[in-house]
Amino acid sequence: MLEYFNFRIIWEYMPLFMEGLYHTAWISLVGIIGSLIVGMLACACRISGIKLLAAPAVAFIEVIRSTPLLAQLYFLYFGLPSLGIQVDELTTGIVALSFNSGAYVAEILRAGIKGIPAGQVEAAMGQGFNVYQRFFYVILPQAFANTLPPMLGQAIVLVKDSAVLSLISVMELTRAGQMLNSERFMPSEAFLTVAALYLLVYYVLKGLTKFYQMRMTRFRSA
């Protein structure tokens, strides 16, 4: 296998790969922040108990969860111009990623909130907190602590999902591989390097999850 493998080409294209990795990293980071905002809003609406807010949130979450990201991406990519909204591919991609991941984040948060004992809310009510204070000062911080491991899992999914953005010609890691493949016709060098770089990101995030879980068990048992 190694005789097929041309390391010189990989080295020559390293700046391209690094640029791709850099773009993937910051697109993912913006996507994660965006999905946290979307997810928090959707989750707050869903559990608010007000039908007028909860119904659209439920519809949004269910629709996103039962359609593929690629279809959502194309929906925005081809759909926004016909509404007269002109944005570049990168913005479209980040918006699609944020909304897609946001629906999953909302569900993760909801599960985390369900795990909080009812006494916490009752105590906050007893202190005279209103509904926003209860949500933002009491429920949300605890929900975040409960949900950090699944959130990091979602972050891993988001990094991988960002590969789909290459299909609307956003420059990122997979796109770098495609460029090398189309310029030199060397799929092994291109895509195995791309896979290795994604694995690098994956192991970093997985390590973070493990580290956090270790600290939490120590913190809780102490």
Partner 1 sequence: MWGFYFDQLMNSMPMFYKGMGVTVAISALSLIGGTIIGVITGILRSNEGTFMSRILSLYVDFMRGTPFLVQLFIIFFILPEFGLQMEAFTAAVVSLTIYAGSYICEIVSASIQAVPSGQEEACRSLGHTRNQAMILVVLPQALRMALPALVGQYVLLIKDSSIVSVIGLTDITRAGWLTVQRVPEGIMVFGLVGILYFAVCYPLIQLSNMLEKKFSTGEMKL
Binding status of residue 66 toward partner 1 by CB under 8 A: yes
Which of 166, 170, 171, 176: binder of partner 1 (CB under 8 A)? 166
Binding status of residue 80 toward partner 1 by CB under 8 A: yes
Nearest to 159 by CA among 105, 97, 208: 97
Distance of CA 107 to the CA centre of its chain: 13
Stretch that binds partner 1, among 48-56, 114-122, 171-179, 210-218 (CB under 8 A): 171-179
Which of 19, 25, 90, 188: binder of partner 1 (CB under 8 A)? 188
Stretch that binds partner 1, among 35-43, 126-134, 142-150, 155-163 (CB under 8 A): 155-163
Which of 89, 181, 184, 208: binder of partner 1 (CB under 8 A)? 181
Nearest distance, CB of residue 186 and partner 1, angstroms: 9
Nearest distance, CB of residue 58 and partner 1, angstroms: 12
* Cβ contact 100:72 at 8 Å: yes
Binding status of residue 11 toward partner 1 by CB under 8 A: no
Q: Which two tokens stand for residue 19?
A: 């640029």
Binding status of residue 2 toward partner 1 by CB under 8 A: no
* Cβ contact 41:132 at 8 Å: no
Q: Which CB contacts under 8 angstroms, 24+ apart, belong to 7-16?
A: 9/180, 9/184, 9/186, 9/189, 10/189, 10/193, 13/176, 13/180, 13/189, 16/176, 16/179, 16/180
Nearest distance, CB of residue 78 and partner 1, angstroms: 3
The span from the CA of 85 to the CA of 100, in Å, is: 20
The span from the CA of 155 to the CA of 205, in Å, is: 8
Query: Considering beta carbons, is residue 43 or 156 the nearer one to partner 1?
Result: 156
Nearest distance, CB of residue 122 and partner 1, angstroms: 25
Query: Considering beta carbons, is residue 113 or 201 the nearer one to partner 1?
Result: 201
A 10 A CB-CB count for 175 gives: 22
Phi-psi region of 49 (alpha: psi -120 to 50; beta: other; left: phi over 0): left
Distance of CA 201 to the CA centre of its chain: 13
Binding status of residue 203 toward partner 1 by CB under 8 A: yes
Query: Considering beta carbons, is residue 78 or 136 the nearer one to partner 1?
Result: 78
Contacting residues toward partner 1, per CB under 8 A:
4, 62-63, 65-72, 74-75, 77-83, 156, 160-164, 166-167, 174, 177-178, 181, 187-188, 191-192, 194-195, 198-199, 201-203, 206
